[in-house]
Amino acid sequence: MKVLVLDSGTTVRKIISSFFPTEDFQIFEAGTAKEGLDLTFQEHFDLITIGMVLPDSDGFTVCKTIRNGLIDNKQSICKNSKIFLITSGNIETNRIKSVESGFDGIFPKPTGIEEFKTVIEEIIKLAYQSSPIESKKAGKILIIDDSELNLLLLGKILEKNGYSFQAFTEGKKAYEYLQSSNEVSYIFNRLDHAGFFRRRACRSNT
């Protein structure tokens, strides 16, 4: 798997790169938007991490450019790559804009080595993860998240892709819904507080 690490900080790039297992990943680094975009037209990257602030641009603009796939009439070969934003800015403030820009996910820029390791492990897991939804006709998707903003974003993504879903911010209400419905085929649970469900994604009715 080829990985592009795009960040203005040399130390940050080295730390991020060091957590990708060398036997599984080939790492490329870039410190400016131009360097990063040039690479996306030369190499196909399976995974790209982008910092928010760059000397000559910003992460949102770079991601949009990659997704649009054209620079000077040249075709990008990375428009379908997994792209993640790593930012020291406010996650909730930037979440909607990151989705609109084409990012697959957004993560806070860690302040310590162990936090960096945790973030990279999560990114790798998401990059490798294929969609658990095998069919749009399989049934309704149940989403549980105590963040109404997350529910709004997930709902928009599911609607855009033609999926039927039901969303709840409380585990108790989701549990009651499950007791009265046999239409749910998948559960995506992202509750941060203790409740009826632990944080996991699982298939119901099995």
Beta bridge partners of 31: none
Residue 135 lies in a domain: no
26 & 83 share domain: yes
CATH number of residue 40's parent domain: 3.40.50.2300
Residue 133 lies in a domain: no
pLDDT tens digits in sequence order for the chain, 206 residues long: 899 999 999 988 988 888 887 777 899 999 999 999 999 999 999 899 999 999 999 999 999 999 987 777 777 789 889 899 998 878 878 888 998 899 988 888 766 566 667 777 777 776 665 444 444 445 688 888 777 766 776 676 667 667 788 888 888 888 888 888 878 877 777 554 434 444 333 444 44
Domain, as residue range, for 20 = 2-128
The tokens describing 182, both together, are 């046999």
- Write down the pLDDT at residue 205: 43
Mind giving me the DSSP string for 125-180? HHHHPPPS---TTS-EEEEE-S-HHHHHHHHHHHHHTT--EEEES-HHHHHHHHHH
120 & 182 share domain: no
- Cα torsion through 69, 82, 32, 16, rounded to 10: -170
- Write down the pLDDT at residue 166: 87
76 & 164 share domain: no
User: Model-level pTM?
Assistant: 0.61
Q: Which of 137, 149, 148 is nearest to 186 (CA)?
A: 137
90 & 183 share domain: no
- Write down the pLDDT at residue 138: 53
108 & 197 share domain: no
Q: Could you tell me the CA-to-CA distances from 60 to 10, 53, 83, 85 in Å, in that order?
A: 20, 9, 11, 8
Q: How far apart are CA 149 and CA 131, in angstroms?
A: 22
The tokens describing 20, both together, are 């990708």
7 & 91 share domain: yes
